[in-house]
Amino acid sequence: MNLTSYLAGRPLQSAQVLTVRSPYDGSISGTVTLATRADTEAAIAAATAFRDTPTRYQRSEILEKTRTALEARREEFARTISSEAGLALREGRYEVGRTIDVLRFAAMEALRDDGQIFSCDISAQGKARKIFTTREPLRCAVAITPFNHPLNQVAHKLGPALAAGTPIILKPSEKTPLVAVKFAELLYAAGLPGAMLSVLLGPTADVAEVLVQHPDVEVVAFTGSVPVGKRIALTAGYKKLVLELGGNDPLIVLDDADLDLAVTLAAEGSYRNSGQRCTAVKRILVQAGIAPEFTRRLVEKTREYTCGNPLDEATKVGTVIDEASAIYLETVLQEAVAAGAKVLIGGERRGALLQPTVITDVPRDCRMVVSESFGPLAPIIIVRDLDDALTLANSTAYGLSSGVVTTSLPSAMKAIRTLRCGTVNINEVPGFRVENSPFGGIKDSGLGIKEGVIEAMKGYSYVKTFSLPW
Ligand code: NAP
């Protein structure tokens, strides 16, 4: 699969190409041509010069046509994800399904009127006029996306921007650019004006950093790691920032939990997408009374998560993104073991494959608990009671999402009030959402500015207020 970067809808021919390899066996998944600094500047100029914004109806139609085209090519897109990201085919299929939802909701939202009306004769200082608001597109948005949901993260940036009528320049992860470029091609084929979308791959200093720092870029929407997000915050200058960063989400399991449900949520939350979701379960905080039985059942459940060739239908867990990441996870695991933790199942690594792993007796201060470990690790930490769980849950620098398994409404409500994070899901994994609901974290996980199709459209537009004497 030989693809190109795109400058305002035009394929960029270049001798410089990025070669993308399967994390599973190193085979070549495809290539993409690279952009230069001059291409990056030209893409910004093309976006900011664009004035021929499609109508709401036209924007909705483009998004709908893209959705229909993706429906027709679901399997091909799922296989591209598995091939370049090493994710199990079932994960690629799931991600395509989510992307179809993003497009459906974005097409719906493009049609929705976003104005408000304020009568002005409501105060002694007022008069008989009316103030109206309308949302205007920005001139140029930039989206920078990570590897872990290589299609859906891209859709969550492009869908809302295009629904809002805002031209956007995408810099996808260099680890997973293929499905991103193919997605852009669907949008062009659906009638998107070329100047409304560029997709650029290239050296960080010539593409990503130029995009982030350019004064004509009005918003940078970034999803990725905390260090890169904080660097963007320092260097972007005077512009809007939407930062969706790392997570270290807890699943709290209380003594009164439905045990089957708790075990299923722990396994799904820890192992889906090879544990590489920002909202994956990264710490399982289990109340002491239920801990022995929960642990026994989670080990049994983990046996179901066969790990291997991502393109094999029987595989439930594919690779992590590359061998270096798997080695890092192995190191974190060894550190925990040296500090007294015990590996009950899993832990073996072969290349970029890491077996789903259950770890107990994990000290509260080891790296696996304090920082984000982006892989299929399920560390169990025993807590005394709800208060202990909430204190521990809140003790890290992150604040993305959380899950609480309990049958007690008072415990659920206390957790909702006390957890310092963007989302609390009761009897669900932290990652549960629908694509148009507000989503995003606080603390090191983000600035509290939400994404999800409806909220994201606000990030890609500004409110214009006008008043009339009628
Ligand atoms: P990453 O290393 O931060 O990379 C993310 C993107 O930033 C890539 O496109 C990368 O480009 C680009 N980048 C690298 N250096 C940059 C710079 N100096 N300026 C601007 N952009 C730069 O993250 P990742 O490893 O791909 O993704 C995993 C992380 O994303 C995890 O921490 C995960 O929790 C987080 N995440 C958060 C959310 C959320 O919604 N909160 C969702 C998904 C993932 P290259 O590929 O070219 O290096």
Would you say residue 258 lies in a domain?
A: yes
Same domain membership, residue 196 and residue 121: yes
CATH number at residue 87: 3.40.605.10
Q: Residue 278 CA: which ligand 1 atom is closest? A: 34
Same domain membership, residue 456 and residue 326: no
Domain, as residue range, for 430: 249-434
Same domain membership, residue 309 and residue 175: no
Q: Which protein residue's CA is at the shortest distance from atom 14 of ligand 1?
A: 228
pLDDT digits 0-9 by tens, 49-87 = 999 999 999 999 999 999 999 999 999 999 999 999 999
DSSP classification of residue 53: P
pLDDT digits 0-9 by tens, 275-285 = 999 999 999 99
Same domain membership, residue 158 and residue 227: yes
Would you say residue 35 lies in a domain?
A: yes
Same domain membership, residue 261 and residue 131: no
Give long-range contacts, CB 8 A cutoff, 24+ apart: 153-157: 153/223, 154/179, 154/180, 154/183, 155/98, 155/99, 155/102, 155/103, 155/183, 156/102, 156/223, 156/435, 156/451, 156/452, 156/453, 156/456, 157/221, 157/223, 157/456
**In whole angstroms, how far apart are CA 451 and each of 161, 247, 299, 333, 438?**
11, 15, 35, 33, 6
What pLDDT score does 319 carry?
98
Would you say residue 307 lies in a domain?
A: yes
C-alpha–C-alpha distance, residues 457 and 470, integer Å: 29
Same domain membership, residue 273 and residue 135: no
Same domain membership, residue 223 and residue 324: no
Would you say residue 440 lies in a domain?
A: no
Report if pTM > 0.95. Answer: yes
Residue 294: CB within 6 Å of ligand 1? Answer: no
pLDDT digits 0-9 by tens, 426-446 = 999 999 999 999 999 999 999
Would you say residue 223 lies in a domain?
A: yes
| Catalytic annotation, residues | 244, 278
- 227: CA distance to ligand 1 center in Å? 9
C-alpha–C-alpha distance, residues 48 and 57, integer Å: 22
Residue 82's nearest CA partner among 282, 274, 327 is 274
- 172: CA distance to ligand 1 center in Å? 9
What pLDDT score does 23 carry?
98
Same domain membership, residue 199 and residue 96: yes
Weakly modelled stretches of the chain, pLDDT under 50: none
Would you say residue 363 lies in a domain?
A: yes
Identity of the amino acid at 174: E
Would you say residue 441 lies in a domain?
A: no
C-alpha–C-alpha distance, residues 133 and 174, integer Å: 40
pLDDT digits 0-9 by tens, 100-125 = 999 999 999 999 998 999 999 999 99
C-alpha–C-alpha distance, residues 224 and 145, integer Å: 6
DSSP classification of residue 69: H
Quote the number of domains for the chain.
2
